[in-house]
Chains A and B, each alone.
Chain A
Amino acid sequence: MSITKKATILAVGLGLVTLSACGSSGGGGESGDSRTVTLVSHDSWAASKEVIAAFEKESGYRVKVLKDGDAGQAVNKAILTKDNPQGDVFFGIDNTLLSRALDNGLFQPYEAKDADRVKPEYRADQGRHRVTPVDTGDICVNYDKEWFSEHKLTPPASFDDLIEPRYKNLLVTENAATSSPGLGFLLGTAARYGDGWPEYWKKLKANGVKVVDGWEQAYNEEFSGSAAGRKAKADRPLVVSYASSPPAEVIYADPRPDTAPTGIVPGTCFRQVEYAGLLSNAKNPEGGKALLDFLIGKRFQDDMPLNMFVYPVRDDAKVPADFARFGPQAENPQTMDPDEIAGHRDEWVKSWTSLVLK
């Protein structure tokens, strides 16, 4: 009985201690002060410490970053909480999902200071300036050079090639419903084949395409050309990834190879543009505006490529030589008009899901 009594006292005591501890630490309280500006983003956000520190020094704001899951989920969560957002600026919505955010009133208008330095092809929402383009990249099929030379097989060069019998069971892609490269690849096929894309996917499925949930799994566990994939004895030499994946394989390798172990399949690229915007109901709109100015300022745009492996959108930004050498931008990527994406995306994803996954 005395043990029980002790345990009771202990339990009650623990509860009280905990409650008081929680009360004081406030596990993640709101930064309600006007000197802090909060950036909500996806997990891939990265920037050099020096660049952020320079912004903080010049503007007088402290930057807080909330990485809120992968791209699609971060967007959806931001929309769900838009009446009372978790931050001031959202970065990382791309052209494939842009209409969803705009239709749901996620952003308030603000024209960033250097908006006219953005290359014209990347500008969006010209009438209202609810978003600011920040970076761009291409979603392309990557191939494992070593695998193809070992098997004396020419790598594919286009969407059409991917349904050829000689490339059977070689491609892994991502779920278009849950992953942004997966969705980009689907939109690429829709741009290329128009209404015939379901036919194309039926052939792709018959040719043994494998679908996994997210990019990490596809690239690091299924793709034989990535460093992690080689370790995991992955067995698919074709993966839907980014044009910037080959330079990443070089820059992060130790020792550095002279050429990238992987290459891109040129005819399979889809151009992606990522935007940032000032959240409606932001608690610190002034800080948010300063942060948006900074995101398309020259300093950040120059710093970006080797942090996030994307291309800048400013016409005067410098791309590091290594980056440009190993991962040039695709020549003629598939593109799609934002209105076209807005009108069809959800129905396409639905049809794709029942066609490919069920």
Chain B
Amino acid sequence: MDLARSEVAARGRRRQAAARLALMAGPVAFFAVFFAYPVLAIVGRGLKDGDGWHLARIGQVLADSGVRHVLWFTTWQALVSTALTLLIALPGAYVFARLDFPGKQVLRAVVTVPFVLPTVVVGTAFLALAGRGGLLDELWGVRLDTTVWAILLAHVFFNYAVVVRTVGGLWAQLDPRQEEAARMLGASRPAAWRTVTLPALAPAVAAAALMVFLFTFTSFGVVQILGGPTFATLEVEIYRQTADVFDLSTAAVLTMIQFVAVGAVLAVHAWTVRRRETALRLVDASLTARRPRGAGQWALLAGVLGTVAVLLVLPLAVLVERSLDAPGFASYRALTSADSGVFLVPPIEAIGISLQYAAAATVIAVVIGGLAATALTRRDAGRLVRGFDALLMLPLGVSAVTVGFGFLIALDEPPLDLRSSWILVPLAQALVGVPFVVRTMLPVLRAVDTRLREAAAVLGASPWRVWREVDLPLVRRALLVAAGFAFAVSLGEFGATVFIARPDSPTLPVAVARLLGRPGETNYGQAMALSTILMVVCAVALLVLERLRTDRTGEF
């Protein structure tokens, strides 16, 4: 009897291992064909000619002072952006975690909107705020465009939510009684905070900082619009070397440098995440927040609200205001005519095209990401699976620009001649969406009690049936949230899309960037109007998600 039972369990385990490999096969194949192959193709085009690889180029490129300058600037601005973001957002994290005030839910959504906005829109908004003829220019003659400040502020704007959500989410669940116990035992307030709360928060702060570092290190759209010719991140430089200078070998080396740098950051990130999974005594977040008490807390709350108003709301408000500048919604009306000569189609059509692409990309990302997350669910996974986990994160940091170019030259032969196919853009967008899907689904899947699955398996259910009967009902909501994120990310994807979107079917961000690059007020107004539309779509998607969201410990 016992023997038979262990036999069944062992068979179940074997079956599960086989099922896991089968689940991984899909995502692995997807990444091999649509990520590794195009990237290798474009890198190969730069570093290979008829007789083999020219690895000497790597040394030459690294020795180039211009390249070193770009490397230095990329690292420097990412570090400063990260430090600034932490400095500005940590008080916000505290306020969201520990204070209770009316309108808190709305505010939480408001601070998250920037994170899902397309980089192009953010660039445009800061241009409207601090560029030539922008709000600050009109008020005080201050112009920050083509200075590094515009870039840094835009980065803080973008990543404020990352810190608030990652750190605030954990902070809200830390048991305040532990700190109180330390106070009872005679520790001063700062000492209690330093010895009890800070160590518990440190991994979350580190993880948030690394995420922000990663996003700013690989920043493209923001720097492309605000940087002018002087400032370039690696990602912008890769784009310029390929699209403008046509120096493919330099671009290839830069891609490799970025790959190594991002790989290192991701490795550290994975390590902090594992550290974070150490047991903390967590309590329900709704129990820890209180109404503000004392002048200090009220001042802090006011400070955070002020920061949010100036840094996050104002740029977007200026954007909307600029789009309405022309009387009688003229900028919006202009979007319906193709006369501007920028595209073959009226810019308004870019909205429909974008939504179609993003929906297709969402379907792809949810399928691939869902399979991957399911394969990664069990905690006792071996090294192989952990490597797989890291692999899934890579598209977050490997140059999207490179992926776009790779698509252009790699996927042009049957059976994969996709270059003239509309699916090319959604595929590129889905690559960026998958990591978000995995990060959103994984914590929820892992929270499902394994014994439920085992019980079902022992009762003879197939792995598919187990998933359908046990996992799916529990994760349906997370799946929707993941889909929403993938949708927003796809909608705003710019780096890969900018080069593969065809002139007769531009996506919204590409249309905005093109309009910004053309002379005349009507084009500027149209860029602002399109950006506003894009912002509204993203914000609505996000607000719907906020309603659906249950679990607040996820990464994003």
Contact = CB atoms under 8 A, between A and B. Distances in A.
B240 interface: yes
B326 interface: no
B419 A84 contact: yes
Contacts of B132: 221, 232, 234
A346 B520 contact: no
B66 A358 contact: yes
Interface string B465-479: 000000000001101
Contacts of B499: 77
A178 B409 contact: no
B229 A212 contact: yes
Contact of A216 (B405, B503, B517): B517
Interface in A7-43: 7-8, 11, 14-15, 18-19, 21-22, 25-30, 43
Contact of A213 (B133, B229, B477): B229
Interface stretch (B13-21, B31-39, B353-361): B353-361
B374 interface: no
B247 A346 contact: yes
B480 interface: yes
A27 B423 CA distance: 9
A307 to B, nearest CB: 11
A14 B355 CA distance: 11
A184 B537 CA distance: 43
B353 A27 contact: yes
B417 A219 contact: no
A178 B229 contact: yes
Contacts of B83: none
Given A67-B503, A80-B405, A357-B230, A349 B245 contact: yes
A319 interface: no
B409 A81 contact: yes
Contacts of B228: 212-213
A231 interface: yes
Contacts of A354: 65-66
Interface stretch (A68-76, A144-152, A162-170, A188-196): A68-76
A63 interface: no
B246 A100 contact: yes
Contacts of B243: 69, 72-73, 76-77
B519 A220 contact: yes
The listed residue with most B CB atoms (<10 A of its CB), out of A67, A72, A211, A234, is: A67
Contacts, number: 137
The listed residue with most A CB atoms (<10 A of its CB), out of B409, B503, B517, is: B503
A73 B244 contact: yes
Nearest to B426: A22
Contact of A228 (B412, B420, B505, B520): B520
Contacts of A100: 246
Contacts of A21: 356
A233 interface: yes
A80 B229 CA distance: 24
A4 B479 CA distance: 11
Interface string A211-252: 111101001110000001001111000000000000000000
Contacts of B504: 28, 66
Contacts of B325: none
A66 to B, nearest CB: 5
Contacts of B518: 43, 216
Nearest to A21: B356
B111 interface: no
Contacts of A132: none
Contacts of A28: 420, 422, 502, 504-505
Interface string B54-95: 000000000001100100000000000000000000000000
B422 A27 contact: yes
A52 to B, nearest CB: 14
B247 A46 contact: no
Contacts of B363: 15, 18-19
Contacts of A175: 229
B119 interface: no
Contacts of B282: none
Given A19-B360, A350-B66, A81 B503 contact: no
A355 to B, nearest CB: 10
Contacts of A67: 341-344, 503
B477 A4 contact: yes
Contact of A66 (B244, B245, B353, B502): B502
B255 interface: no
Interface in B441-478: 476-477
A304 to B, nearest CB: 16
A101 B355 CA distance: 36
B242 interface: yes
B244 A29 contact: no
Contacts of B502: 27-28, 66, 86
B409 A4 contact: no
A213 B359 CA distance: 34
The listed residue with most B CB atoms (<10 A of its CB), out of A28, A43, A67, A221, is: A28
B246 A27 contact: no
A353 interface: yes
Contacts of B521: 228, 231
B480 A81 contact: no
> Which 3 residue pairs are nearest across A and B when measured between Cβ atoms?
A27-B422, A18-B359, A220-B519
11 contacts: A4-B477, A18-B360, A25-B422, A29-B422, A73-B244, A77-B408, A77-B499, A81-B419, A84-B417, A211-B229, A219-B519
Interface of B: 65-66, 69, 132-133, 146, 228-230, 240, 242-247, 341-344, 353, 355-357, 359-360, 362-363, 405, 408-409, 412, 417, 419-423, 476-477, 479-480, 483, 499, 502-505, 514, 517-521, 548
Given A18-B360, A19-B363, 11 more contacts: A22-B422, A43-B518, A67-B342, A70-B517, A73-B244, A76-B242, A79-B246, A84-B412, A233-B133, A357-B229, A358-B69
